[in-house]
Amino acid sequence: MEKRELTCIGCPMGCQITVTLENGEVKSVEGNTCMKGDKYARAEVTNPVRVVTSSVPVRDGEIDQVSVKTAGDIPKGCIFDVMEALRGISLQAPVHIGDVVLADVCGTGVDITATKNVERKIV
Amino acid sequence: MNRTKIAVIGGGPAGLAAAIEAKKAGTDSILVLERDRCLGGILNQCIHNGFGLHTFKEELTGPEYAQRFIDQAQELEIPCRLGTMVMSIAMAEDGSGDKIVTYLNREEGLVQLRAEAVILAMGCRERPRGALSIPGFRPAGIYTAGTAQKLVNINGFMPGRSVVILGSGDIGLIMARRMTLEGAKVQVVAELMPYSGGLKRNIVQCLDDFGIPLKLSHTVVDIEGKERVKAVTIARVDERSKPIPGTEERYECDTLLLSCGLLPENELTSALGAVISPVTRGPEVNESLETSVPGVFACGNVLHVHDLVDFVSQEAGQAGRNAARYVQGAAAKSSEGDIRVTAENGVRYTVPEIINPARMEDTVTLRFRVGAVYQNIYESVYLNGERILHRKKKIAAPGEMETIVLKKESFEQVKDLKSITVRLEEE
């Protein structure tokens, strides 16, 4: 039996939820005041996911950095691996929203894409 | 003198949405004046996701959300002057009701622009250290969270490696995560109030995910270091926000980030003579989002600080449509029948502050904030003492703006309207 404490992010109530797990299986969800909390807690203890956003250097652009994101959810446990994979990457302007910066990052099946347009600097 | 029908001050999310809606409403002559070298305002540095759920039904990052509006403005061929600082807005002295907008940029120098209507969309600024009365030295290494955000996300510089954050506003929480992802050690977030002003989602995903402690009812009582921050001491505070001796904790660090609230930037508005609300620190507006100066409208964070950009876009769109009606001569100009909305019993303010049913469209959106955290509370609206709306809320908190939409027909059913009251009630 394992107990996990969570704060629900569904609304400003922020219910303190206790999930009881047995062999990785959810046995009970307590402390939530609505179904949103139940759903959130079950997903969060079995398969927590996040979107990671960052920025990387861009050469010859109007600005020196371009913002990027994982185009979809990645496992929460991979956040720092994704950051590590981004280290050392730099792009050449122009860069446009949706351009793939890094395909299938850390084997997650999710691409890193640009979230900003950076045009070439006019010299 | 240069002329335009509508001058929009600010090319961030509010100014863009206002200009777009004014153009769509049939105004052909609009000019957007933007201080920065690019459009999009603060969204450019808000690279995290979560924007646009209400507007586009998907989670965008700040720059992506901004680009959707920049693209629309370009498609509509709305002219924008970048790198342009507005110096003043004043009434024309010829009694025409026009406004003279004085601005400055490198290409044109000092320019006077005659506008029939002005939309204020200058946004807000962060409360700086000087406004916080924090004791201690004044070394390098103390930044507002937004400045740090710009340094990391736009310029690619890390402001420090070991960080303490004062204030748990959303930008502070977002920067706790951002600095952690870039390799810094964020030791603690101290919050003066017994609750956080930030969204629950940010507390979980920016602090809990990385094991960063949030200390409520705590503040900074000392900053050490002459050249650079060496250490920051925080202490617990009592219910009157006074530090309690003996509760001090010292953190060795090189950086202190401040996320202690946002203030609407209204120097231009005040100098113009528009009435400023002491609560929101933005101009008082009527149901058309028009300030006390006829033909001058306001929207977005310059009007009152918002939590969600989606609501900024909605509000700004309304300001744009109303400015268009004003320059087309379709807006009623009389102030007869203006009713001041009374905000009481836990409701800190409402925007708009003034409603004139004769000028109302089919509905009016009232936005407000509550003064504390309330559970199982009712939001009520009274016209002439008669309750026309009674809505239960499981939770209402200062960090989340509340919205009520009132119908014009509710107002038409009341004879001789004298008062509009918004209040919280226990039952």
User: Number of structural domains, chain A?
Assistant: 2
Token representation of residue B97: 């009701």
Asked if A26 and A62 sit in the same domain, the reply is no
Look up the ipTM and state it: 0.91
Asked if A43 and A57 sit in the same domain, the reply is no
CATH number of residue A61's parent domain? 3.10.530.10
CA B137/CA B392 separation, integer angstroms: 49
Asked if A34 and A69 sit in the same domain, the reply is no
- For B196-216, b/e burial (b = at least 16 CB within 10 A) is bbbbbbbbbbbbbeeebebee
Contacts of B37 in chain A (CB under 8 A): 62
Residue-level pLDDT at B333: 66
pLDDT tens sequence across B198-234: 888 899 999 999 999 999 999 999 999 999 999 999 9
Helix (H) or strand (E) holding B354: strand B354-355
Contacts of B65 in chain A (CB under 8 A): none
Asked if A67 and A40 sit in the same domain, the reply is no
Sequential DSSP letters for B265-305? --HHHHHHT--B-TTTSSB--BTT-B-SSTTEEE-GGGTS-
Nearest CB to B67; choose among A53, A65, A97: A97
CA B22/CA B366 separation, integer angstroms: 21
What does DSSP say about strands A16-22 and A2-7: parallel, antiparallel, or unpaired? antiparallel
Q: Which residue of A has its CA nearest to B207?
A: A7
User: Quick one: chain A helix, strand, coil %, rounded to 5?
Assistant: 20, 40, 40
A65 lies in some domain: yes
A123 lies in some domain: no
Reply yes or no: is the peptide bond before residue B159 cis, omega within 30 of 0. Answer: no
Specify which residues A70 forms β-bridges with. Answer: A112
Asked if A10 and A29 sit in the same domain, the reply is yes
Asked if A62 and A35 sit in the same domain, the reply is no
Distance from CA of B61 to the nearest CA of A (A): 7
Asked if A71 and A25 sit in the same domain, the reply is no
A17 lies in some domain: yes
Asked if A60 and A95 sit in the same domain, the reply is yes
Asked if A36 and A64 sit in the same domain, the reply is no
Coil, strand or helix at B409 = helix
**Pairwise CB contact (< 8 Å): A116 & B63:** yes
Mutation target vs A (from B43, B45, B201; most A CBs, 10 A cutoff): B201
- Structural domain including A104 reads 53-114
For residues B176-185, give the mean pLDDT: 98
Asked if A38 and A65 sit in the same domain, the reply is no
CA A66/CA A116 separation, integer angstroms: 6
A122 lies in some domain: no
Token representation of residue B89: 């807005």
Q: Which of A14, A32, A47 is the last residue before a domain boundary?
A: A47
A21 lies in some domain: yes
A93 lies in some domain: yes
Sign of CA dihedral B165, A68, B210, A36: positive
For residues B355-373, give the mean pLDDT: 92
Enumerate residues 6+ apart whose C-beta is below 8 A from B301.
Answer: B14, B123, B124, B262, B264, B312
% residues pLDDT > 70 (chain B) = 99
Q: Which of A12, A27, A47 is the last residue before a domain boundary?
A: A47
Nearest CB to A12; choose among B49, B156, B400: B400
Tell me which of A64-68, B188-192, B371-375 is least confident: B371-375
A119 lies in some domain: no
User: Is A50's Cβ below 8 Å from some Cβ in B?
Assistant: yes
Asked if A97 and A64 sit in the same domain, the reply is yes
A100 lies in some domain: yes
B358 falls in which pLDDT band (50, 70, 90)?
confident
Asked if A63 and A109 sit in the same domain, the reply is yes
